[in-house]
Homo-oligomer: A and B are copies of this chain.
Amino acid sequence: MKLYTFFRSSAAFRVRIALNLKGLAYEPQPVSLPKGDHRRPEYARVNPQALVPMLELDDGTRLNQSLAIIEFLDQRYPQPPLVPEDALGRARVRSLALLIACEIHPLNNLRALNYLRKDLGLLEEQVNAWYRHWIAEGLAKLEAELTQSPGAGSFCHGDAPTMADCCLVPQIFNAKRYKSDLTPYPMAMRVFEQCMQLEAFDRAQPSKQPDASE
């Protein structure tokens, strides 16, 4: 399998964690977002969404969208499971993953920040405030979910990593990079620390990717 990835893309980071948790080898294909590699015609031809991550299977089939890729991996390589079997557990894990993937990340990705900087001419200080605002709003909701809704254990759901943790960890990396105050989210941070003990999470982090030197 080939993974079209960028070291700092948190959506690609999610899939790298899932591949590592499943023990699946893959060939990384770096796509530099700051250089606009994803917008080049040769990439758009193979990827209509012109985004990373994209997973290319050995037969050439290409899959887009990090959560769709993780669910695919979970169906094809069921062990260890990243989405629980029971309908309510599945709903909870997906809901936590989507809370991060829909309520925080899209507002803070490179595309959105570039629009604020270039099209709207905002100051870097305003862009940083925007970034931290959505982190704070989203992580407060996540913290409330982890503490109020039954199901959390040493990980977001139970005592083994799931797709929700694959989303949480890259989001916390981003929050740290933008110097967000993380003290209001002790439960989320406890789960983060727990995840980072695992080699699968550690090895997937941005600074350990082949394209990180960029």
Contacts and interface: CB of A to CB of B under 8 A. Distances in A.
A71 B49 contact: no
Interface string A126-162: 1001100100010001001101110000000000000
A196 B28 CA distance: 42
User: In the complex this chain forms, how many copies of it are found?
Assistant: 2
Task: Determine the main DSSP class of A at the interface with B.
Answer: helix
Interface stretch (A1-9, A29-37, A83-91, A176-184): A83-91
A88 B137 CA distance: 34
Interface of A: 44, 48-51, 61, 63-65, 67-69, 71-72, 75-76, 87-88, 90-92, 94-95, 98-99, 101-103, 105-107, 111-112, 115, 119-120, 122, 126, 129-130, 133, 137, 141, 144-145, 147-149
Given A115-B130, A115-B133, A120-B126, A63 B91 contact: yes
Contact of A75 (B68, B87, B112, B120): B87
Nearest to A50: B141
A99 B145 contact: no
B120 A91 contact: no
Contacts of A130: 115, 120
7 contacts: A48-B144, A50-B141, A50-B144, A51-B141, A67-B98, A102-B106, A107-B112
